[in-house]
């Protein structure tokens, strides 16, 4: 500083001179400050006066259905280059916003689709409007009037890559709180990416605690749209096959499959149970001549297992049908239904599958038509060949199931297969024994990517044999009297099975946790939200 | 032992001609020399595992011989008394009452060829592209069915969207008793899949996939009849198979014509391509000739030979209808 240099050379007379200079400087400073303030005030006043765009933005009054505007809102997914240079209205969430001088870039989102929006100072938008737009909190819902413009360079970060919109009016319909419990970008960051760059990821519990926000991610949107697709295809295929959809009670008087893992609820002066499966009821429908039935509904299991694939409440897709001579007719029917679902998903839900794959990459689901059927003994032999030691009548453990799935995939290149003829001892009492070998039974499991999704069998339709089997399993005959009685008045041979909807979605998409495919999952540790 | 060992200078088990009138004692030398485990084991009366396996094999062969004798006896009975029914044992032990039984000499034991049966169906999985149906393999499948109890299945992989109906029924009608898989000796699973090259998988743990229709055909044919012991003949068959696939099927018009000419030459000397009997060479060449559409313009000997093939009856699948 030159001032200090001067001080050094003339130290004697410095005192008075220095004081003087200081005073002078301070005065100068104060004058400048005053001037600046005045200028700012004037500017503010000035802008307030000449903000020509002040009707073009703002917080809209709460929509209380005051008026019914005849205004067409365009969907973001419909914003294509054909709409270029048109003036449109749209309602969307503010996904991100980035202000840069006289411009503000917003990304507007509608479900899984998003588009870039630009608010720039010009003859339609003022500086204040840009500032307002930049300050809108993320996740707020806005109404925007804008002109669609083609872009020269593809916008890689948005789903609508060929166009952007130039905002002319912007109104906030519903403001989001500025602090979000989780960031959408973090929640939709591809698996593994966060760990590498030290960027934030969101853990499962945070996601589930703030499910409403987590469900807004494109991945969640795609998962649950696909889940809805599974249900739709299930209904569609079975209805075409002549099945009837039935509804069964969920509050029941006796545990359907074994007394363990059943929820007890108080029922006036006594207690009741939550249905573990619609098993007995769908069988009764068969006895009541409905021929082929299916039902879609919640199923409850009081299993205290905290694994990636167990829930205490899940959606069961249940099938039961009468057959003519061989229970393989049932297997064929079920496997064909599954194949139709897989094909439907492959052909009609490719966008959703791709979106989930972006965050959770996995190999596409492979299957054979007709479905591959192996026998239990063959499965055991394959496992033994691979070095697993197990008895003939042991049930498959989860790791063995997975290993068998890998072996089958290696040889047949299919992610879906049926394992037939399980040992009788590992199946419920109502399973029909094998006619040729009493150790085995007419029962089957179906596997997707090496995990069980369906368990089914030919059921015993003869009251006497059923009683024998129940006694053998030491089941109290009094408790299942109603069930056994329904077979006393003539019952067609029948079989069926139950599929877990969440598991099908999880395994089809190659996800690793069933909580990702359950909208509001229930497990031993979670009852909310 | 911490010290060095020397080899015995004489064999421990020298058989000396000992007088039999006196009592015997175990050989002292043998005990000394018997330092290795196998010799100890031998002395203790335990036979070597190899010996046991040999014994088991011998027993198996004897059992088979007895079975065969019974079968022949049964047959003799039916020949002598034409209206006597073939009893069941005869039917099962002679499961090949077809022309192949005489065509392909030499027994092929599935256990020896494909490894021991451990309870799983021995399933041969063929992945084929519907754009290039493996005609040779379809013919060979027909022959296998005549020799063994084969469980056949056709699947469509999800990588292929639609397959013509005749490709779905190319392995014959659906088997009604297909539900009892353990009753079958062999599985033949054809999967129509988007593969660049035909592929066969058998035992994924111990065998790599076999690629190419010619190689798979060689594998399948070995299940029907063992390789000829004559190396020259084996080479001849092999070279015809290569000619079939590289020149007749994939080659250009010139190459095809050349191949047909050499076929004509060979068929002038013998009735079949490799000697007096039908072999894989004939099957491969016939299928490739039919597939390439060269059949119509073929020279005389080839025409005659093709007629002869057709008369055998099991080439009908090569036309895929």
Q: Select the more confidently predicted residue: B315 or B57.
A: B57
Where is average pLDDT lowest: A124-138, A320-334, B2-16, B211-225?
Answer: B2-16
Q: Select the more confidently predicted residue: A483 or A40.
A: A483
Please compute the mean of the pLDDT values over residues A157-165 and round it to a whole number: 90
Q: Are B284 and B242 in contact (CB under 8 A)?
A: no
Q: Quick one: A474 and A501 in the same domain?
A: yes
Q: Quick one: A457 and A344 in the same domain?
A: yes
CA A326 to chain centre: 38
Q: Are A514 and A503 in contact (CB under 8 A)?
A: yes
| Contact yes or no for A326 and B205 at CB 8 A | no
Question: Is A310 tagged catalytic?
Answer: yes
User: Environment class of residue A431 by beta-carbon count within 10 Å: exposed (0-12), middle (13-18) or buried (19+)?
Assistant: buried
B156 shares contact with chain A (CB less than 8 Å): yes
Please determine, for residue B104, whether its predicted confidence score (pLDDT) is greater than 60: no
3-state secondary structure of A490: coil
Where is average pLDDT lowest: A17-21, A406-410, B160-164, B285-289?
Answer: A17-21
How far apart, in Å, are the Cα atoms of A449 and each of A182, A335, A417, A431? 32, 15, 9, 26
Per-residue pLDDT reduced to its tens digit, B238-256: 899 988 888 888 888 888 8
Q: Please give the Cα distance from B72 to B247 (Å, whole number).
A: 45
Please indicate, yes or no, if residue A54 is contained in any of the structural domains: no
A335 shares contact with chain B (CB less than 8 Å): no
| Contact yes or no for A436 and B180 at CB 8 A | yes
Instruction: Check residue B224 and give its pLDDT.
Output: 85
Q: Quick one: A270 and A168 in the same domain?
A: no
A90: domain range? Answer: 76-174
Instruction: Check residue A33 and give its pLDDT.
Output: 77
B163 shares contact with chain A (CB less than 8 Å): no
Question: One of A145, A455, A512, A526 is an active-site residue; which one?
Answer: A455
Instruction: Check residue A495 and give its pLDDT.
Output: 95
Instruction: Check residue B94 and give its pLDDT.
Output: 38
Please indicate, yes or no, if residue A323 is contained in any of the structural domains: yes
Q: Please give the Cα distance from A415 to A447 (Å, whole number).
A: 8
State the DSSP string of B79-144. Answer: HHSTTSPPPHHHHHHT---SHHHHHS-S---HHHHH----SS--EEEEEE-TTS--HHHHHHHHHH
> Any idea what the CATH number is for the domain that residue A322 is in?
3.30.930.10
Minimal-distance CA residue of chain A relative to B160:
A368
Q: Please give the Cα distance from A100 to A426 (Å, whole number).
A: 67
Number of folded domains that form chain A = 3
Please compute the mean of the pLDDT values over residues A401-418 and round it to a whole number: 94
Task: Pick the most confident of A310-324, B45-59, B61-75, B149-163.
Answer: A310-324
Work out the minimum CA distance from A346 to partner chain B, whole angstroms. 9
Minimal-distance CA residue of chain B relative to A387:
B205
State the DSSP string of A321-370. Answer: EE-SS-THHHHHHHHHHHHHHHHHHHHH-HHHHHHHHHHS--PPP--EES
Instruction: Check residue B93 and give its pLDDT.
Output: 37
Q: Quick one: A224 and A197 in the same domain?
A: no
pLDDT classification of A31: cutoffs 50, 70, 90: confident
Please indicate, yes or no, if residue A524 is contained in any of the structural domains: no
Q: Please give the Cα distance from A31 to B187 (Å, whole number).
A: 99
Question: One of A352, A401, A452, A502 is an active-site residue; which one?
Answer: A452
Q: Quick one: A280 and A404 in the same domain?
A: yes
Tell which of A149, A174, A199 closes a domain.
A174
Q: Please give the Cα distance from B288 to A101 (Å, whole number).
A: 74
For residue B157, which phi and psi values (nearest 5 degrees)?
-80, 155
Q: Are A458 and A495 in contact (CB under 8 A)?
A: yes
What percent of chain A has pLDDT above 70?
92
Q: Please give the Cα distance from A108 to A131 (Å, whole number).
A: 17
Q: Select the more confidently predicted residue: A53 or A420.
A: A420
Q: Please give the Cα distance from A384 to A210 (Å, whole number).
A: 46
Element (H, E) at A33: helix A14-50
Q: Quick one: A302 and A418 in the same domain?
A: yes
Instruction: Check residue B34 and give its pLDDT.
Output: 44
Q: Quick one: A201 and A342 in the same domain?
A: no
pLDDT classification of B226: cutoffs 50, 70, 90: confident
Q: Quick one: A210 and A126 in the same domain?
A: no
3-state secondary structure of B63: helix
Q: Quick one: A133 and A99 in the same domain?
A: yes
Q: Please give the Cα distance from A376 to A455 (Å, whole number).
A: 13
Mean pLDDT across chain B: 77
A409 shares contact with chain B (CB less than 8 Å): no
> Any idea what the CATH number is for the domain that residue A107 is in?
2.40.50.140
| Nearest-10 Cα torsion for A461, A464, A467, A468 | -110
Instruction: Check residue A316 and give its pLDDT.
Output: 94
Q: Considering only CA atoms, which of A98, A92, A117 is closest in space to residue A107?
A: A117
Overall pTM > 0.80: no
Per-residue pLDDT reduced to its tens digit, A241-268: 999 999 999 998 876 555 568 899 999 9
Work out the minimum CA distance from B149 to partner chain A, whole angstroms. 17
Question: Is A301 tagged catalytic?
Answer: yes
Burial B31-68 (b: 16+ CB within 10 A, else e): eebbeeeeeeebeeeeeeeeeeeeeeeeeeeeeeeeee
Q: Which of residues 365-384 of A touch B (CB under 8 A)?
A: 365-370, 372, 374-375, 377-382, 384
Q: Which of A411, A418, A440 to mutate to test the interface with B (most CBs of B within 10 A)?
A: A411
Per-residue pLDDT reduced to its tens digit, B116-163: 666 778 889 999 999 888 888 988 888 888 888 888 889 999 998 888
Q: Please give the Cα distance from B66 to B88 (Å, whole number).
A: 16
What DSSP designation does A426 have?
G
Question: Is A455 tagged catalytic?
Answer: yes
Beta bridge partner(s), residue A320: A293, A496
The answer to whether the Cα torsion of A82, A88, A90, A95 is positive or negative is positive
Q: Quick one: A291 and A408 in the same domain?
A: yes
Q: Please give the Cα distance from A163 to A421 (Å, whole number).
A: 58
Q: In the sheet where A368-369 sits, what is the strand order?
A: A368-369, B150-157, B186-192, B123-128, B199-201, B210-211
Please compute the mean of the pLDDT values over residues A301-330 and round it to a whole number: 92
pLDDT classification of A29: cutoffs 50, 70, 90: confident
Per-residue pLDDT reduced to its tens digit, A319-353: 999 999 999 999 999 999 999 999 999 999 999 99
Please indicate, yes or no, if residue A24 is contained in any of the structural domains: no
pLDDT classification of B177: cutoffs 50, 70, 90: low
Q: Look up tokens 């689901």; give the residue.
A: A365
Domain B231-319 coded CATH 3.40.980.10: no
Question: What's the alpha-carbon Rg for chain B, to the nearest Å?
Answer: 27
CA A319 to chain centre: 24
Q: Are B93 and B67 in contact (CB under 8 A)?
A: yes
Of B119, B125, B156, the CB nearest to A411: B125
What DSSP designation does B249 have?
I
Please indicate, yes or no, if residue A482 is contained in any of the structural domains: yes
Question: One of A207, A461, A469, A503 is an active-site residue; which one?
Answer: A503
Domain B120-224 coded CATH 1.20.1050.130: yes
- List all residues 6 or more positions away from A219 whose beta carbon is below 8 Å from its beta carbon: A188, A355, A356, A358, A359, A360
For residue A245, which phi and psi values (nearest 5 degrees)?
-85, 130
Q: Look up tokens 């031993």; give the residue.
A: A524
- Please check whether the two domains, B120-224 and B231-319, share a CATH topology: yes
A302 shares contact with chain B (CB less than 8 Å): no
3-state secondary structure string, A135-203?
CCCCCCEEEEEEEEEECCCCCCCCCCCCEEEEEEEEEEEECCCCCCCCCHHHHCCCCCHHHHHCCCCCC
3-state secondary structure of B36: coil
Q: Look up tokens 């007890």; give the residue.
A: A264
Annotated domain spans of chain B: 49-112, 120-224, 231-319
Q: Quick one: A168 and A245 in the same domain?
A: no
Beta bridge partner(s), residue A37: none
pLDDT classification of A497: cutoffs 50, 70, 90: very high
Token representation of residue A464: 């006497």
């Amino acid at each position: 500083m030159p001032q200090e240099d001067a001080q050094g050379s003339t130290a004697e007379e410095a005192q008075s001179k220095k004081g003087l200079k200081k005073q002078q400087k301070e005065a100068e400073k104060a004058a400048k400050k005053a001037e600046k303030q005045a200028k700012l005030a004037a500017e503010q006043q000035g802008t307030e006066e000449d903000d020509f765009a002040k009707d073009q933005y703002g917080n809209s009054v709460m929509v209380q259905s005051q008026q019914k505007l005849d205004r067409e809102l365009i969907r973001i997914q419909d914003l294509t280059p054909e709409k270029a240079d048109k003036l449109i209205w749209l309602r969307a969430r503010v996904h991100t916003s980035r202000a840069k001088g006289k411009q503000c870039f917003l990304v507007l989102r509608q479900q899984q689709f998003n588009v870039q929006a630009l608010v720039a100072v010009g003859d339609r938008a003022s500086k204040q409007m840009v500032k307002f737009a930049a300050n809108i909190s993320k996740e707020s819902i806005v109404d925007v009037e804008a002109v669609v413009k083609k872009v020269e360079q593809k916008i890689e970060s948005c789903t609508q890559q060929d166009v952007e919109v130039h905002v002319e009016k912007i109104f906030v319909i519903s403001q989001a709180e500025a602090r979000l419990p989780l960031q959408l970008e973090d929640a939709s960051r591809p698996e593994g990416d966060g760990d590498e760059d030290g960027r934030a990821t969101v853990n499962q519990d945070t996601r589930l605690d703030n499910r409403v926000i987590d469900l807004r991610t494109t991945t969640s949107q795609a998962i649950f749209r696909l889940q809805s697709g599974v249900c739709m295809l299930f209904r569609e295929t079975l209805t075409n096959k002549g099945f009837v959809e039935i509804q069964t009670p969920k509050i029941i008087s006796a545990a359907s499959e074994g007394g363990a893992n059943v929820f007890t609820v108080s029922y006036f002066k006594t207690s009741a149970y939550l249905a573990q499966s619609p098993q007995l009821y769908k069988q009764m429908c068969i006895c009541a001549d409905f021929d082929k039935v299916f039902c879609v509904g919640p199923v409850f299991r009081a299993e205290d297992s905290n694994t990636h694939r167990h829930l205490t409440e899940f959606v069961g897709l249940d099938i039961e049908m009468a057959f003519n001579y061989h229970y393989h007719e049932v297997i064929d029917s079920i496997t064909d239904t599954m194949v139709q679902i897989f094909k439907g998903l492959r052909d009609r839900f490719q966008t959703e599958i791709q979106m989930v794959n972006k965050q959770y990459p996995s190999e596409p689901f492979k299957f054979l038509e007709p479905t591959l059927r192996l026998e239990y003994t063959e499965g055991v032999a394959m496992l033994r060949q691979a070095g697993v030691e197990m008895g003939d009548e042991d049930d498959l453990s989860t790791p063995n199931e997975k290993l068998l799935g890998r072996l089958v995939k290696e040889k047949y290149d299919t992610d879906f297969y049926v394992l037939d003829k399980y040992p009788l001892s590992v199946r419920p009492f109502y399973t029909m024994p094998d006619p040729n070998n009493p150790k085995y039974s007419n029962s089957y499991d179906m596997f997707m990517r090496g995990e069980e999704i369906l368990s089914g069998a030919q059921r015993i339709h003869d009251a006497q044999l059923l009683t024998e089997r129940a006694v053998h399993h030491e089941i109290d005959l009094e408790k299942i009297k109603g069930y056994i009685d329904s077979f006393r008045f003539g019952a067609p041979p029948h079989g069926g099975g139950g599929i877990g909807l969440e598991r099908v979605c999880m395994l089809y998409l190659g996800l690793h946790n069933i909580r990702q495919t359950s909208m509001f999952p229930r497990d031993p540790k979670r009852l909310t939200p | 032992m911490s010290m060095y060992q020397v080899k015995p200078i004489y064999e421990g088990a020298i058989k000396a001609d000992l007088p039999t009138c006196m009592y015997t004692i175990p050989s002292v030398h043998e005990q000394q020399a018997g330092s290795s485990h196998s010799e100890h084991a031998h002395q203790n009366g335990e036979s070597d595992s190899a010996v046991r396996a040999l014994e088991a094999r011998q027993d198996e062969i004897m059992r088979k011989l007895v079975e065969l004798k019974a079968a022949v006896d049964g047959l003799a009975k039916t020949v002598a008394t034409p209206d006597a029914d073939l009893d069941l044992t005869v039917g099962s032990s002679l499961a090949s009452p077809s022309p192949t039984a005489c065509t392909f000499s030499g027994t092929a034991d599935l256990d020896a060829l494909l490894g021991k049966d451990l309870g799983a169906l021995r399933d041969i999985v063929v992945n084929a592209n519907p754009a290039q149906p493996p005609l040779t393999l379809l013919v060979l499948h027909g022959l296998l069915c005549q020799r063994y109890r084969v469980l056949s299945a056709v699947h469509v992989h999800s990588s292929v969207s639609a397959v013509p109906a005749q490709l779905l029924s190319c392995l014959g009608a659906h088997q009604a008793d297909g539900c009892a898989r353990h009753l079958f000796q062999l599985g033949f699973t054809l999967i129509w899949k988007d593969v660049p090259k035909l592929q066969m998988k058998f035992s994924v743990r111990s065998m790599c996939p076999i690629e190419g229709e010619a190689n798979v055909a060689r594998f399948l044919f070995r299940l029907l009849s063992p390789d000829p012991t004559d190396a020259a003949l084996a080479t001849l068959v092999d070279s015809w198979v290569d000619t079939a696939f590289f020149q007749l099927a994939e080659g250009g018009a010139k190459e095809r014509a050349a191949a047909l000419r050499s076929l004509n030459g060979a068929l002038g000397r013998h009735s079949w391509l490799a000697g007096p009997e039908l072999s894989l060479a004939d099957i491969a060449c016939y299928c490739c000739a039919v597939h390439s559409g060269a059949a119509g313009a073929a020279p005389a000997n080839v025409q005659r030979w093709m007629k002869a093939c057709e008369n055998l009856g099991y080439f009908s699948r090569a036309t895929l209808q």
